[in-house]
Amino acid sequence: MRSRISEKESLKRAFRDAYFAKERKGAGNEFRSNVMRRIRQIGPLKANVGFWPAFEHLMWRLVPVSCLLVLVLTVALVTMDFDHSHDYLGTVTADLEKPTLTELFGFEG
């Protein structure tokens, strides 16, 4: 991904001129303030316009995290000890049975 500074020709030209002017005039406090004044006169860089550049930037930040998460979950799944004698479906169906009022108040006969 290219830097926004390298895409701005006027900023590159200002840095180049400042570098060559430094050799000619010598480096002093006044020189540095003049250089910074010239850079500020250029103004801010244009913002990236559009959805896809921002989405691509976000996506490439999430790729390593996603890969690491898939790897960790795969290792956890492989090392997990499954008990084949336990009835997982029976546990779910027992939780789905709704209690009646007689069970709640203990009026079973």
pLDDT tens, residue by residue, 63-72: 999 999 999 9
Tell me which DSSP letter residue 50 carries.
S
Angstrom distance (rounded) from CA 71 to CA 74: 5
Tell me which DSSP letter residue 97 carries.
S
CA distances from 12 to 17, 18, 89, 97 (A): 9, 10, 67, 72
pTM of the entire structure?
0.35
Dig out the tokens for 34 from the structure: 């003049």
pLDDT tens, residue by residue, 26-76: 556 777 787 788 888 877 766 666 788 778 888 888 999 999 999 999 999
Angstrom distance (rounded) from CA 88 to CA 90: 5
Q: Whose structure tokens read 């995290």?
A: 65
More confident residue, 1 or 23: 23
Angstrom distance (rounded) from CA 28 to CA 26: 6
